[in-house]
């Protein structure tokens, strides 16, 4: 006749989700089946936003235990298309970065790791806010198509060993919907929710081994090392529960990675790196992550052996050649490899100079990313269009002595008003001091499986 | 060009509420103006449910400080019609109960306090779940109209000194909307939110003095005394900030108040009480609350003086007479006072007997309320209709020795299936023991202004 809950009686479906919120509010873990149903019913629209918003906020305070986290990640992953790569020979491995400014590591790492023998099924995102996105960078290569079908993706992965694509609407829709809700309810910053979001997408790719590049610093999502370590450990725990090999590197994001910040200019820098040049920090981070992918994937027994494989792939030109083939396979113009001027930059030049002599002791990296976005290299909302040709070059490094009038940033831009605002932000983002502040370490640590 | 928030850039209005949620999540208090805008924009539909749901859950964890609470209560109060009773002579005073089973105190207290010289502008609610509501009880009097206009309400208050009505849709709409959201997001149990909800309604009535009857026990919203004390203190603090005199009594709700649980039968019991009879516990709680109203309102300097006023109002028949006039003024049949059989009860009799001898040491009071609701005396949802004639009589008391086969509950019902379920619940709600457990104290304490 009636169903009786603690507060009277209500219809069954409403009661269930209220009880789930209530339990989380009071710190009681949910059964895996209840978490799965929450994700399924939210994705299908059976549960309203306001109930999930309340649950998410309760999760921000109470966290999720390992079993809940695995259930959440698994349910999110299964909310859409999951790639089955089991018929493709070789070890499928990928890298994920938590995002930063000037982070073009994927462009170098994907062909490099594949040239070393791994299969790299890389599904990337777009830039938003102060961070750039691999897809936007790839699309600055004329003709490059990031929208392959599942079949095309698998075919290219089997043939070349690497494919670099974007998410379709059918890929982890639960995460899309939940992320949009978190964004407007102040529930983005939550280690379990961030970890489940990242891992649901990476595991849906079908990779067996995954290296996480967890950025730490004022241009990263996590400003302090303790929280970054927590996030890394949480993602590793999810991976282990779901039978994948996962490890993490903590790397510095207190200044941009490399020099270029933008899209076409980042591709140029990535190509330089594949040719054996490029900025030292970009090279070091890329190699460290690729080494870890190789040992994790079982292609090298030690870091030294992995480094040797990598050196050969770079020195032989195999990695560069694989990037060329990837571009060609995905409809892009492969001539950009040899003639990077085909990656057209915006016409106007700008520069930010040191207002006086001093040691570069701090840079507000997030503001640098926002300055690049203001030029048109990034997005305010997901609907905005990117201007591939605009960008910044960070020409200094923390811990360097600058002379008065020395160039700290160069820019290529299209609109004077945007440059005026970006220039103001960049000038305000710098701290020059009379005493030298030691620069941050680039690689802070490795967190293993 | 761009507005820059901590996480990139967003449009202004969205940012504002996200920032408010974010601040509360991290325990930072909001400005009074921001709280006011939250309430206004939510009531008018400018802020979506999901953002308020997240904010409410953050409040459950972080609480609200005194200034936030006053701002929230004030904004909720002002979201609709606020009665201005300043032109009516005399001290306007009311009582509010946090709700229980068999709580018909208001029916006795309102005419009694008015007969002692207070003005009692009583706006009550309906029953839901296991608790009854004063409006439903009043409506079991044939013809009684709880829907007076504001002008009628003020006129009757000036003429008789008492009026007992329900809320219109224009009365504190912010609370209606927010309570409905809390109900489905597991954010009902929160002392600041409960306090703001109650006080916004009571202060919108226009009363200057308010006595709170905070129920404690297994049939109350608050099962333990510590939380009940917290709630009382929180409401008193709100009242003080808003310039009203407020005090609270903590009273026991580990068993029904009085004998009758229902609607018509509770009115009958209230009339008996006004005639000088009725159950002892109902009488004691009612007198204690009325005494406190009189001293708080300044009509008596001491409890003893207040008790004398009350005794006179009862013994002279003035209080009973005022209830008769109130019924008459609000369209009801005043003959029920002299002939309570005009309050028609349901035709079928039921009884729950003690299955064996023993001391009555515990009763699950909430289950008793639900049993009455199942008979038709209460509501599953706000749309359900009440059957005024059905009800229970609780014929025993905690701490009493029962013989095998002694009646513990009597019932009047209409549908055999409902009675079968109610009977099962009632039988399961009792604990008989071989040793006597001391009964709970009826009045646990007074919390003063």
| Distance, CA of B413 to CA of B261 (rounded, Å) | 12
- Which chain A residues are closer than 8 Å to B421 by Cβ? 1-2
- Any catalytic annotation for residue A197? yes
Using a CB-CB distance cutoff of 8 angstroms, which residues of chain B are in contact with residue A372? none
Minimal CA separation from A53 to chain B, in Å: 5
d(CA B337, CA B164): 17
Task: Judge whether residue B3 has pLDDT over 90.
Answer: no
Confidence of residue B383 (pLDDT cuts 50, 70, 90): confident
Catalytic status, residue B316: no
Tens-place pLDDT, residues A52-100? 999 999 999 999 999 999 999 999 999 999 999 999 999 999 999 999 9
> What does each C-alpha distance from B270 to A388, B96, B132, B279 come to in angstroms?
80, 17, 14, 9
SS3 call for A241: helix
A13 touching B, CB under 8 A?
no
CB-based contacts of B18: which residues, under 8 Å, 6+ apart?
A183, A184, A185, A186, B5, B10, B51
Strands A93-97 and A120-124 turn out to be: unpaired
User: Are the CB atoms for A281 and A443 separated by under 8 Å?
Assistant: no
CB atoms within 10 A of CB B381: 11
Q: In this structure, are residues A313 and A112 in contact, taking their beta carbons and an 8 Å threshold?
A: yes
Distance CA(A324)–CA(A336), nearest Å, equals: 8
State how far Cα B308 lies from the chain centre: 27
Test the A interface: residue of B2, B7, B8 with most A CBs within 10 Å = B8
Q: Tell whether B58 lies on the interface with A, counting CB pairs under 8 A.
A: yes
Out of B2, B18, B61, name the one closest to residue A184 (CB). B18
Specify the pLDDT at position A438: 94
B256: three-class secondary structure by DSSP: coil
pLDDT average, residue stretch B86-96: 96
pLDDT at A5: 40
A196 touches chain B (CB under 8 A): no
CB atoms under 10 Å from CB of A190, counted, come to 20
Q: Give the residue carrying structure tokens 């927590």.
A: A230
Helix or strand or coil: residue B327?
helix
At B177, phi and psi to the nearest 5?
A: -65, -40
Question: H/E element holding B446?
Answer: strand B443-447
Q: Tell me what the mean pLDDT of segment B108-116 comes to.
A: 98
> Among candidates A252, A217, A251, A257, which has minimal Cα distance to A137?
A257
Rounded Cα distance between A166 and A177, Å, is 17
Q: How many CB pairs under 8 A join A and B?
A: 129
Q: Give how far Cα A316 sits from Cα of A115, A276, A325, B78, B306, Å.
A: 10, 10, 15, 76, 101
* Closest residue of chain B to A56, computed from CA coordinates: B54
- The CA–CA distances, whole Å, from B387 to B151, B156, B264, B413 equal 30, 28, 9, 9
Run of H or E residues at B367: helix B365-372
d(CA A323, CA A320): 5
Contact yes or no for A25 and B181 at CB 8 A: no
Nearest to A128 among B8, B54, B186 (CB): B8
Give the mutation candidate from B18, B47, B50, B421 for the A interface (greatest A CB count, under 10 A). B50
**Is the Cβ of B25 closer than 8 Å to some Cβ of chain A?**
yes
What residue has token string 């009879």? B277
Q: Give the pLDDT band (50/70/90) at residue A16.
A: confident
- Residue A3: pLDDT band (50, 70, 90) is very low
pLDDT for residue B14 is more than 60: no
pLDDT in tens, B122-158: 999 888 788 999 999 999 999 999 999 999 999 999 9
The verdict on a CB contact (< 8 Å) between A9 and B370 is: yes
Residue B448 has pLDDT above 90, yes or no: no
Three-class DSSP category at B318: helix
Residue of B nearest to A222 (CA): B7
User: Chain B interface, mutation test: which of A8, A132, A368, A416, most B Cβ atoms within 10 Å?
Assistant: A8
Residue of A103, A136, A175, A252 marked active site: A175
Chain position carrying tokens 């407007």:
A184
Dist. CA A243–CA B1, nearest whole Å: 47
- A57–B52: do the CB atoms touch at under 8 Å? no
Contact with chain B for residue A338, Cβ under 8 A: no
Q: Which contacts of B38-41 are long-range, i.e. CB under 8 A and separated by 24 or more positions?
A: B38/B75, B39/B72, B39/B75, B39/B76, B39/B79, B39/B174, B40/B75, B40/B79, B41/B17
- Judged by DSSP in three states, B302 sits in coil
Q: What is the pTM of this model?
A: 0.85
Helix and strand counts by DSSP (H, E) for chain B: 16, 13
Helix axes B12-25, A49-62, angle to 10 degrees: 40
Q: Is the pLDDT of residue B258 over 90?
A: yes
Looking at residue B265, what is its pLDDT?
98
pLDDT in tens, B260-318: 999 999 999 999 999 999 999 999 999 999 999 999 999 999 999 999 999 999 999 99
Distance CA A96, CA A195 (A): 11
Across the interface, whether the CB atoms of B9 and A54 are under 8 A apart is answered no
Q: If we measure between CA atoms, which residue out of A2, A69, A12, A19 comes closest to residue A39? A: A69
Sheet holding A443-447, edge to edge: A93-97, A209-216, A245-252, A443-447
pLDDT tens per residue across span A302-350: 999 999 999 999 999 999 999 999 999 999 999 999 999 999 999 999 9
Torsion, Cα B382 B383 B388 B389, to 10 degrees, reads -120
Q: Place A2 in a pLDDT band, splitting at 50, 70 and 90.
A: very low
**What are phi and psi for residue B202, nearest 5 degrees?**
-70, -35
Neighbours of B78 (CB within 10 A): 18
Residue B275 bears catalytic tag: no
Window 349-388 of B: residues touching A by CB (8 A cutoff) are 370, 373-374, 380-381
Considering only CB atoms, which chain B residues are within 8 Å of A185? 18, 21, 50-51, 53-54
- B250 forms bridges with which residues in the sheet? B214, B445
Q: Is the pLDDT of residue B373 over 60?
A: yes
Q: Are the CB atoms for B4 and A369 separated by under 8 Å?
A: no
Chain B: residue whose CA lies nearest to A3: B380
- How many angstroms separate the CA of residue A275 from the nearest CA in chain B? 34
Q: Which run of H or E residues covers position A441?
A: none
What share of chain A has pLDDT > 70, as a percent? 96
The answer, yes or no, to whether ipTM is higher than 0.95 is: no
Cα Rg of chain A, angstroms: 23
Q: Do B273 and B238 form a contact (C-beta atoms < 8 A)? A: no
* Cα(A72)–Cα(A32) distance, integer angstroms: 8
| Catalytic hit among B37, B92, B96, B324 | B96
Q: How far is A1 from chain B (nearest CA, A)?
A: 8
- Residue A233 structure tokens: 């450990």
Give the mutation candidate from A7, A48, A185 for the B interface (greatest B CB count, under 10 A). A185
φ/ψ of B273, rounded to 5, equals: -65, -40
Residue B215 annotated among the catalytic residues of the structure: no
Which ranges of B143-224 does DSSP label H, i.e. alpha helix?
150-160, 173-183, 191-204
Of the candidate ranges A124-133, A228-237, B244-253, the one whose mean pLDDT is the lowest: A124-133
Q: Which of A7, A58, A185 is facing B188, going by the closest CB pair?
A: A7
Q: What is the tens place of the pLDDT at every residue in A167-202?
A: 888 889 999 999 999 989 999 989 999 999 999 999
**Do A385 and A440 touch, CB atoms closer than 8 A?**
no
> Catalytic one among B97, B124, B197, B200?
B197
Q: How high does pLDDT run on average in chain B?
A: 93
Distance of CA B282 to the CA centre of its chain: 15
Is B130 near chain A, with CB under 8 Å? yes
User: Is B201 annotated as catalytic?
Assistant: yes
Residues of chain A above pLDDT 90, percent: 89
Kindly list the residues from chain B whose CB atom is less than 8 angstroms away from the CB atom of residue A2. Answer: 370, 374, 380, 421
CA dist., res. A361 & res. A434, Å (int): 9
Of A9, A19, A48, the CB nearest to B380: A9
What's the rounded mean pLDDT across residues A346-366? 97
Q: Which of A384, A362, A386 is nearest to A435 (CA)?
A: A362
Q: Which residues of A touch B25 (CB under 8 A)?
A: 57, 60, 186-187
Which pLDDT belongs to residue B449? 58
Given a cut of 60, whether residue A13 has pLDDT beyond it is no
Which tokens is A432 given? 């020059």
pLDDT the model gives residue B10: 39
pLDDT in tens, B323-351: 999 999 999 999 999 999 999 999 999 99
Q: Which two tokens stand for residue A270?
A: 């990535």
Q: Which residue of B has its CA nearest to A368?
A: B8
| d(CA B208, nearest CA chain A) in Å | 32
Contacts of A370 in chain B (CB under 8 A): 2, 4, 8-9
Q: What is the structure's pLDDT at A449?
A: 58
Across chain A, mean pLDDT equals: 93
Nearest CA in chain A to B7: A129
| DSSP conformation class of A178 | H
User: How far is Cα B183 from Cα B214, in angstroms, rounded to an integer?
Assistant: 20
Q: Is the pLDDT of residue A6 over 80?
A: no
């Amino acid at each position: 006749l009636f169903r009786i809950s603690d507060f009277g009686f209500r219809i069954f479906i409403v009661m269930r989700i209220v009880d789930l919120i209530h339990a989380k509010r009071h710190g009681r873990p949910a059964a895996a089946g209840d978490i799965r149903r929450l994700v399924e019913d939210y994705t299908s629209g059976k549960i309203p936003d306001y109930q999930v918003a309340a649950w998410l906020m309760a999760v921000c305070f109470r966290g999720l235990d390992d079993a809940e986290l695995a259930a959440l990640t698994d349910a999110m992953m299964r909310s859409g298309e999951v790639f089955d790569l089991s018929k493709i020979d070789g070890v499928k491995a990928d890298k994920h970065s938590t995002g930063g400014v000037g982070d073009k590591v994927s462009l170098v790492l994907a062909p490099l790791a594949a040239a070393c023998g791994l299969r790299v099924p890389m599904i990337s995102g777009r830039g938003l806010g102060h961070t750039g996105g691999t897809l936007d960078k790839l699309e600055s290569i004329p003709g490059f198509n990031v929208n392959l079908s599942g079949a095309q993706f698998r075919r290219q992965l089997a043939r070349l060993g690497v494919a670099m694509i974007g998410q379709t609407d059918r890929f982890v829709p639960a995460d899309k919907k939940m992320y949009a809700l978190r964004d407007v309810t102040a529930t983005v910053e939550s280690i379990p929710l961030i970890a489940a979001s990242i891992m649901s997408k990476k595991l849906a790719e079908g990779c067996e081994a995954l290296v996480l590049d967890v950025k730490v610093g004022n241009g990263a999502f996590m400003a302090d090392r303790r929280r970054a370590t927590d996030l890394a450990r949480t993602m590793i725990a999810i991976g282990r529960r779901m039978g994948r090999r996962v490890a993490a590197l903590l790397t510095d994001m207190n200044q941009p990675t490399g020099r270029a910040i933008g899209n076409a200019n980042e591709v140029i820098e990535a190509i330089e790196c594949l040719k054996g040049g490029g900025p030292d920090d970009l090279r070091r981070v890329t190699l460290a992550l690729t080494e870890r992918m190789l040992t994790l994937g079982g292609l090298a027994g030690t870091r030294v052996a992995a480094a040797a494989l990598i050196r050969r792939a770079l020195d032989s030109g195999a990695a560069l050649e694989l990037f060329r083939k990837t571009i060609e396979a995905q409809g892009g113009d492969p001539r950009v490899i040899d003639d990077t001027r085909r990656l057209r930059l915006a016409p106007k030049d700008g520069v930010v100079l040191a207002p006086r002599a001093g040691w570069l002791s701090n840079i507000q990296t997030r503001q640098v990313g926002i300055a690049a976005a203001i030029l048109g290299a990034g997005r305010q909302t997901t609907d905005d269009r990117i201007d591939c040709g605009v960008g910044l070059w960070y020409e200094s490094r923390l811990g360097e002595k600058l002379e008065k009038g020395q160039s700290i940033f160069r820019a290529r831009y299209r609109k004077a008003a945007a440059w005026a605002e970006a220039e103001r932000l960049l000038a305000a983002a710098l701290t020059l001091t009379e005493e030298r502040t030691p620069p941050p370490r680039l690689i802070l640590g490795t967190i293993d499986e």
